[in-house]
Amino acid sequence: MGPQKTSYADLLIIGAGPAGLVAAYWASEYGLDARVIDDKPDRVTKGHADGITCRTMEMFDSFGIAGQVYEEAALDYQIRYWRLNAVGRLDRAQSINSQAAGICRFQQCLLSQGRIEELLEDRISRGKGRLRVERDVETLRLTLHQRDDPDASAETHPVQVNVRHGRSGGGCMGDGDDDDHVEETIRARYVIGADGAHSWTRRQLGLTMRGEQANHVWGVVDLVAVTDFPDIRQTCVVCSEHGNLHVVPRERGMVRLYVQLDDDGVNPSAAAELRSEATLETILATAGKALRPFLLECARLDWWSVYQVGQRIADRFSAGECVFLVGDAIHTHSPKVGQGMNVSMQDSYNLGWKLGGVLKGQLQSHVLETYETERRPVAESLIAVDQETVAFYAARGENVATRDLQCFRERHYAFLSGVAIQYEGSALVYAPSAIELATGIQLGRRMPSYRVINYADARPTELASKLASDRRWAVILFAGDLRQATQLKRLEEACAALLRSRLLRTRGSSKLVTITASPRDSLPLTGLPPLLYCRDGENDGHGQENRNYEVVFSDEPDVYGAFTDVYAKYGVDREKGCLVVCRPDQHVGFIGALEDVPGLDVFFTGIFRDS
Amino acid sequence: MGPQKTSYADLLIIGAGPAGLVAAYWASEYGLDARVIDDKPDRVTKGHADGITCRTMEMFDSFGIAGQVYEEAALDYQIRYWRLNAVGRLDRAQSINSQAAGICRFQQCLLSQGRIEELLEDRISRGKGRLRVERDVETLRLTLHQRDDPDASAETHPVQVNVRHGRSGGGCMGDGDDDDHVEETIRARYVIGADGAHSWTRRQLGLTMRGEQANHVWGVVDLVAVTDFPDIRQTCVVCSEHGNLHVVPRERGMVRLYVQLDDDGVNPSAAAELRSEATLETILATAGKALRPFLLECARLDWWSVYQVGQRIADRFSAGECVFLVGDAIHTHSPKVGQGMNVSMQDSYNLGWKLGGVLKGQLQSHVLETYETERRPVAESLIAVDQETVAFYAARGENVATRDLQCFRERHYAFLSGVAIQYEGSALVYAPSAIELATGIQLGRRMPSYRVINYADARPTELASKLASDRRWAVILFAGDLRQATQLKRLEEACAALLRSRLLRTRGSSKLVTITASPRDSLPLTGLPPLLYCRDGENDGHGQENRNYEVVFSDEPDVYGAFTDVYAKYGVDREKGCLVVCRPDQHVGFIGALEDVPGLDVFFTGIFRDS
C-alpha cells in the first residue's frame, strides 16, 4: 500500500461524464474548492449517448459552447417513419418534424458523448475555477459521518471518500511521485455521485432502484455504411416484420443504428442471456433484415455495444443532505427517446448552482431540498414517456400501419424538447406570483428568448444572451411605455425600492435587464433611472465606463422593420410592464408587478442568507 | 555592419497591416514559400482604422473569423444626422439605416484595426502555411533585376530587397544570434507592397500619386467620454455652426470622434501648418463646441492623431510584373467614408489568390494583369465618393438644413457596402456569358448568398458557407427540376462533360455545389450523378466515407415551412437551371447553360495552365 494523505474539498464530483462535467461547470463558475474524479484512465472517445435536445443546446449556449457543438453535430430536423406498405414492401410512411415549430432558436442535434465531454472539459478548464478532471482514480469507500461524530471534521466535512490513484497519477498528488497506487482520503462538505447506471456512490449509500428490471436488450452500432437507403442522413424509425431499427445520423459521415434484440420485452434472466449472446454480427444481421430491400453493409466499424436496460428510478436522490446523485445513477431507461444524456446534464444543471450558492454562503441550505422535488417528476416523466415509446415501437409487422407516429410524437414533443420542463412552487418558484402579468411566461419553466433591440445602438439581441450561466440571478424589468409620465414614475419608484432591497445587498448575485415598451428614441438612456444602466447603480457623471450599454433594450422594430413584439410574446401589458426573476438556471422563479419589490424581497428572504 | 545572408522566397509581403495580412492569408492557404515583414517592432494596438463593411464581413466569414469579429465589434445599424434646427439648437434631423436592407446577411460594424490584425494573424498562423509576421525589419533597398540580367537568380527571383533586422530579431535568422542588426538580402519571385500611404515600396519603384494634394486636416480621437449626448453609441454626423463632427461607437465603451480642423479645404502648406499646430486640446475643444449644448468631456484618452489627407491614386499599381502595391500605397482619401481598411483588404483579397495560383503553376501569369484592371476602377470610385462626401459635409451652419443625408447615402449605399463592386469582362470574367440565365446574379460581382436546404439531412445552409476562401473555384450547378426525365438527362450529360473537362483535370482547384429545384424527396441523393456527391467523382459503392453530404442542396421550404425560393432570387429558371462559376474570391466569373461545359472549358483554358 502506498503513502496515505488526507485532503479537504468543498465539493467532490465522482464521475466525469456529461452529468459530472455540468456539475463541474458550476463548481468552476462559483470558484468552488472542488475536485472531479473518474475511475477511467481516459475520456470516452467512441459510442455512448449522442442525442442533444434544444433545451440542452440552450444550456450549452449559456456556457458559450453552443456554436462549436452546432458546427460539429449532425442536425436533426426530421424523423422519417418507415413501415411495410400494403404490398409488404418497406416504404416511407411519414415525415415528421423532429421538433415543434417556434419553441426554441436551436435545433436538436447529434454529437458523440465523448466530444461533448471534451468541449465541456475544455470550457471548464478555461473557466473561473480552471478545474481539471483527475482520471484513473478508483473509489474505495464512502463514509457518511454523523455531524456529531467525535471526528474533528464531521461537522464541516461529513463525507469521507477513500480513493486510490492509478498509474496515470492523480493531479493533486504532485509531480514526481514514484508510487503507482497512492491512496488518499478525501473529506468533502458535499459529494455529487455522477457515476452512471451502476453508480458506486449509490451502492455505497445503500440506495436502491425501483421499477422494471432490465427486460429490454438493445444492440447499438456506430459505423460507416455502404447503403442505398435514402434516409441514411436522417433520424428514422423503421418498423419491419424483421424487427425494429432506429437510424441516427452522426458526425463525420457515420450512422448510428439502434437494433432491438428482445421481442417485445423478456424477463430479466432471458434478457441477460440475450445480452451475453449478442454479437456484432447478430446486430448487423438483424439491422440488415429490417432494412430490406435496401442494402446495408458495414464499411468501417467505429463502436458497438449491447444494452440491457430497465426503466427504473432511485428511491432517493440524496443521502445525509450532503451526497447527491445525478444522471443515470438515479434513472435508467431505453435509448429510444434520446433523452438520457440530456436529463442527466439537466439534473446537474439544476443541482450545481444551488450547491454553489450554499457553499459560497449566499443561499440557505434548505434550497438543496428542491433538487429532488424538482428533478424527481422529470425522471418520472422520462420513464413514462420511455415506456409508452417502447410499447409504441414494439409491435411488429401487421399492426404498425395503424399507428400514427406524428400523433404520438406530438403528445411528447414538449417533454422531449426539454423546454417545457416546469418546476412546481417551492422556495425557488414563488407560488403567490402574479402570473397573469406575464401570460406568455410559465412560472417554473425556463425563460423563453426573443429578440429585443439594444437601447443604445439598435442592435437586435437575443434576450438569452443576457441569461448566461454566470451564477447570477436575472431580474428582468419590463419597464412598459415610458412616454407616459406615470409609468416612468412607477419605474423610478421600483428602482428606488430595488436599491433598498435585499437584491442589491447581495450584489454580484444578480443582474438587471430592462426592456421598455416605448421606442428608444422617445427617451434617452440617460432619462432612465441610473440603476438600470450605471455599473455603480447610481451616478451617470462618471463617463461611459460606468455605463453598461448591454442591459437596456426596447421592444420595437429593428432598423429594417422586423418587429418581434416581445411584450405580446411574453404576454406583458405594454403600458404597465412587470418584474420577472430568472434563477441562475434560467428558470422563472418570480413574476410580479413593478410595485411588488416587497414581494420580491420576501422571495429572496426565503432563499438568500443575510450578508 | 552585421553578417550578411541571402534568402529566397516565392513571395515577400512588405507591411503587416490589414492589406498585408489578407495577402498573407492567401499565401498561407496556398502554402506558398512566403514571408511577411514589417518595420515596426510591435503590432498596432490603438487607433487607426475601424470601419468594417458588410462585404468585408463576408470575406472574414470566408476566412472563418467573422463570428469573433462580430462578437467584439460595435455594430453599426443606424446613422444619425444632427444639425441646427430653426431656432439654432442642435437637433436630430434624420435617422438613416447604415446599410440598405437585404443586401447582406452581415451588418457593417466597427472594431479597431489592431484587433483585426490580431485576429487575422492568429488565423494565418493556424492556416495551412502557418505563416508568421517578422517584425522590426527595416527595408533598405529594392532592386528590380531585368530577367536577362547576368545575375543568376534574375530569371526566377527578379526582385531583390535588402533589409536589416532590428533588436527584436528576425524569425528567419535563427535563435541565439547576438548581433543586433543583421542584414539580409531577400530574393523574391513576387513582392507585395502593403506599406501604407507613405509606401517605401512605391518610392523605391519611383511610382507617383496623382490627384489632390493633402489639403484636408482631420483630428481623430478615441476616448471614453463623459457625455449626455443621446446618440453616443451610434454613428452620427453632426453639422453645427462650430464645425463638423463624426461620432463613431467603438468596442469596450469607447467612442471615436472625427473632427475636421480645416475650413472646407486649404492649400497643402496651410494644411501642413494646421496639422503641425493641432493638439489634443484643439481637437477636443472643437468637438466640444460642435456638440453644444451637450456635454462632452474626456474621462480616459485611448489614442489621438491628426491626419493630413489628399485624395490620390498611384499612377501604376505594379512594376515589372512582379511587384504589386495594395491598399493605402495606391489610394489615399479622407476617413469620412469609413472605407480605407476595407478597400485595402479587398485589393489583397483580389491579388492574393491570383499570385497563389500563378506561383502554384495552376494559373497563367497573365491573370495578374487583371489586378490593376479590376481594382483601379474601385480606387477611382472611392476617391469620387470621398470627394462628394467631403463636399457634402463641408458646408457649415446655415445651409445644411437643405441637405438630405438619406438621399446622399442612398446614392452611395451600394458602393459603400462593398457588395456591389463589379469587375469588368476579362480573362477572369467571361464576357460572352449567358447572363440572362441567372438574372439575379451579376457577372463580375460577388455571388450573393441565400439559404438552401441540405439534400441529405434537410438542414438549412447559407450557400456562402460553401464558398470559403480555400483557394478553390466553385462550380455551382443549378440542376433544375429533376422530376422531369429530360432535365435529369441534361444534368447527367453536363456531368459527363464535366468529367471530360479541364475542370476535373485540375482537380483540387475546384469544388462542385449542386442546387436542385425539385424537392429532395422526389429523387434520392443516389439518383443524382455520382460526380455531384461522391468524393472520387465516380463510385457510390464505397460507402458513406466516399460521399460528401455537404455539397448537394435543394430549393424547397425548410421543415418549418420557410421558403427562400433561391431560384427566384438568383433569377434562374426552375426547369432548366444553369451553371455558375465563382472565382476563389467569390466573384462570379462565368454563367452558362448546363450544356455549356465547352464554354466553361474555353473560360478555364484562358486561365489555367496545362497540367
Q: Which of A101, A226, A541 sits opposite B560 (nearest CB)?
A: A101
Strand partners, A14: A37, A193
Q: Which of A226, A541, A558 sits opposite B226 (nearest CB)?
A: A541
ipTM: 0.91
Å from A70 to nearest chain B CA? 11
Residues 183-242 of A with CB under 8 A from B: 224-228, 230, 232-234
Q: Which of A233, A457, A545 sits opposite B74 (nearest CB)?
A: A457
In B391-472 the beta strands, taken as DSSP E runs, fall at 451-454, 460-462
* pLDDT computed for residue B507 by the predictor: 65
DSSP A358-409: HHTTSB-GGGGHHHHHHHHHHHHHHHHHHHHHHHHHH--GGGGGG--HHHHH
* pLDDT computed for residue B239 by the predictor: 86
| Other beta carbons less than 10 A from residue A49's beta carbon | 23
The answer to whether A293 contacts chain B (CB < 8 Å) is no
Over residues B210-265, the pLDDT tens digits come to: 987 667 788 999 999 999 999 999 999 998 877 788 999 988 889 999 998 876 66
Global model pTM greater than 0.90: yes
SS (H, E, C) B32-98: CCEEEECCCCCCCCCCCCCEECHHHHHHHHHHCCHHHHHHHCEECCEEEEEEECCCCCEEEEEEEEC
Q: Tell me the pLDDT band of A334, cut-offs 50, 70 and 90.
A: confident
The answer to whether B253 contacts chain A (CB < 8 Å) is yes
Å from B524 to nearest chain A CA? 6
Q: Is the pLDDT of residue B569 over 60?
A: yes
Over residues A169-212, the pLDDT tens digits come to: 544 444 445 556 799 999 999 999 999 999 999 999 999 999 87
Q: Are B296 and B230 in contact (CB under 8 A)?
A: no
* pLDDT computed for residue B9 by the predictor: 97
Q: How far apart are CA B180 and CA B167, in angstroms?
A: 5
Å from B174 to nearest chain A CA? 33
Q: Among candidates A582, A208, A211, which has minimal Cα distance to A379?
A: A211
With a CB cutoff of 8 Å and minimum separation 6, the contacts of A281 are: none
The answer to whether B71 contacts chain A (CB < 8 Å) is no
Q: Are B344 and B328 in contact (CB under 8 A)?
A: yes
Phi, psi (rounded to 5 degrees) for B116: -65, -45
- Look at B457 and A234 and tell me if their CB atoms are within 8 Å: yes
Q: How far apart are CA A239 and CA A90, in angstroms?
A: 8
Q: Among candidates A247, A244, A252, A251, which has minimal Cα distance to A221?
A: A247
Over residues B86-139, the pLDDT tens digits come to: 888 999 988 999 999 999 999 999 999 999 999 999 999 988 878 999 999 999
Q: Chain A: residue nearest B79 by CA? A: A457
- Look at B544 and A299 and tell me if their CB atoms are within 8 Å: yes
* pLDDT computed for residue A590 by the predictor: 96
Q: Tell me the pLDDT band of A407, cut-offs 50, 70 and 90.
A: confident
Mean pLDDT over residues A39-64, rounded?
92
Which residues of chain B lie closer than 8 angstroms to A234, CB-CB?
456-458
Residue with cell 424477463: A267
* pLDDT computed for residue A262 by the predictor: 72
Helix (H) or strand (E) holding A579: strand A578-582
Q: How far apart are CA A485 and CA A586, in angstroms?
A: 32
The answer to whether A300 contacts chain B (CB < 8 Å) is yes
| Other beta carbons less than 10 A from residue A71's beta carbon | 10
Q: How far apart are CA A345 and CA A351, in angstroms?
A: 10
* pLDDT computed for residue B471 by the predictor: 94
With a CB cutoff of 8 Å and minimum separation 6, the contacts of A58 are: A66, A104, A106, A419, A446, A449, A464, A586
Q: Is the pLDDT of residue B376 over 70?
A: yes
Q: How far apart are CA A82 and CA A472, in angstroms?
A: 47
Å from B560 to nearest chain A CA? 6
Cα dist from B566 to A292, B461, B516, whole Å:
37, 12, 10
Å from A526 to nearest chain B CA? 7
Over residues A480-511, the pLDDT tens digits come to: 999 999 999 999 999 999 998 877 666 688 99
Q: Are B17 and B343 in contact (CB under 8 A)?
A: no
- Look at A77 and B459 and tell me if their CB atoms are within 8 Å: yes
Strand partners, A235: A79
- Look at A77 and B230 and tell me if their CB atoms are within 8 Å: no
Higher pLDDT, B215 or A388: A388
Q: How far apart are CA B80 and CA B97, in angstroms?
A: 9
* pLDDT computed for residue B265 by the predictor: 60
- Look at A524 and B549 and tell me if their CB atoms are within 8 Å: no
Higher pLDDT, B147 or B138: B138
Q: How far apart are CA A347 and CA A339, in angstroms?
A: 12
Exposed/middle/buried for residue A236 (C-beta within 10 Å: 0-12, 13-18, 19+)? buried
Q: Is the pLDDT of residue B316 over 50?
A: yes
| Percent of the residues in chain B that have a pLDDT greater than 90, as a whole number | 73
Q: Which of A227, A456, A542 sits opposite B233 (nearest CB)?
A: A456
Q: Are B475 and B584 in contact (CB under 8 A)?
A: no
Mean pLDDT over residues A224-241, rounded?
92
Helix (H) or strand (E) holding B570: helix B566-570
SS3 A249: strand
Highest mean pLDDT among A76-85, B22-31, B127-136: B22-31
SS3 B356: helix
Q: Is the pLDDT of residue A69 over 90?
A: yes
Crossing angle for the helix pair B597-605 and B485-500, to the nearest 10 degrees: 20
Task: Give the type of residue at B414.
Answer: A
Q: Is the pLDDT of residue A66 over 90?
A: yes
Q: Is the pLDDT of residue A423 over 60?
A: yes
H-state helical runs in B64-220:
66-72, 113-126, 200-205
The answer to whether A364 contacts chain B (CB < 8 Å) is no
Å from B297 to nearest chain A CA? 8
Phi, psi (rounded to 5 degrees) for B28: -70, -45
Which residues of chain A lie closer than 8 angstroms to B92, CB-CB?
521
B69: Cα separation from own chain's centroid: 14
Task: State the best of B77, B82, B296, B302 to mutate against chain A, taking most chain A CBs within 10 Å.
Answer: B77
Which residues of chain B lie closer than 8 angstroms to A227, CB-CB?
543-544
Which residues of chain B lie closer than 8 angstroms to A222, CB-CB?
none
Q: What does pLDDT average to over chain A?
A: 91
B373: Cα separation from own chain's centroid: 16
Å from B503 to nearest chain A CA? 26
Which residues of chain A lie closer than 8 angstroms to B545, CB-CB?
224, 253, 299-300
Q: How far apart are CA B284 and CA B225, in angstroms?
A: 11
Residues 427-486 of A with CB under 8 A from B: 456-459
Å from A540 to nearest chain B CA? 8
Q: Chain B: residue nearest A92 by CA? A: B521
- Look at B224 and A74 and tell me if their CB atoms are within 8 Å: no
Mean pLDDT over residues A235-248, rounded?
87
Computed on alpha carbons and rounded to an integer, the radius of gyration of chain A in Å comes to 26
Crossing angle for the helix pair B18-29 and B340-359, to the nearest 10 degrees: 30
Which residues of chain B lie closer than 8 angstroms to A284, CB-CB?
none
Q: Are B221 and B191 in contact (CB under 8 A)?
A: no
Which residues of chain A lie closer than 8 angstroms to B232, CB-CB?
456, 544
Highest mean pLDDT among A469-473, B144-148, B402-406: A469-473
User: Which of A199-213, B360-374, B533-547 bottoms out in mean pLDDT, i.e. has the lowest?
Assistant: B533-547
Q: Is the pLDDT of residue B515 over 70?
A: yes
The answer to whether A94 contacts chain B (CB < 8 Å) is no
Q: Are A590 and A572 in contact (CB under 8 A)?
A: no
Å from A560 to nearest chain B CA? 6
Mean pLDDT over residues B531-538, rounded?
90
Q: Are A124 and A90 in contact (CB under 8 A)?
A: no
In A38-182 the beta strands, taken as DSSP E runs, fall at 51-52, 74-75, 78-84, 90-97, 109-110, 133-134, 137-144, 159-165
Q: How far apart are CA B250 and CA B253, in angstroms?
A: 6
Q: How far apart are CA B117 and CA B349, in angstroms?
A: 15
Q: Among candidates B409, B462, B423, which has minimal Cα distance to B100?
A: B409
Q: How far apart are CA A101 and CA A108, in angstroms?
A: 12
- Look at B224 and A544 and tell me if their CB atoms are within 8 Å: yes
Cα dist from A23 to A14, A34, A142, A197, A324, whole Å:
10, 10, 20, 17, 11
- Residue A16 corresponds to which cell in the numbers above? 466525469
- Look at B542 and A299 and tell me if their CB atoms are within 8 Å: yes
User: Which of A38-52, B94-108, B357-371 bottoms out in mean pLDDT, i.e. has the lowest?
Assistant: A38-52
Q: Are B202 and B314 in contact (CB under 8 A)?
A: yes
Task: State the best of B457, B462, B549, B552 to mutate against chain A, taking most chain A CBs within 10 Å.
Answer: B457
Q: How far apart are CA A585 and CA B331, in angstroms?
A: 53
User: Which of A15-24, A142-151, A564-573 bottoms out in mean pLDDT, i.e. has the lowest?
Assistant: A142-151
Task: Give the type of residue at A414.
Answer: A
Over residues A513-538, the pLDDT tens digits come to: 999 999 999 999 999 999 999 988 88
Exposed/middle/buried for residue A335 (C-beta within 10 Å: 0-12, 13-18, 19+)? buried
Over residues B153-207, the pLDDT tens digits come to: 888 999 999 999 987 654 444 444 455 679 999 999 999 999 999 999 999 999 9
Residue with cell 462593398: B418
Q: Among candidates B91, B460, B405, which has minimal Cα distance to B240?
A: B91
- Look at A544 and B101 and tell me if their CB atoms are within 8 Å: no
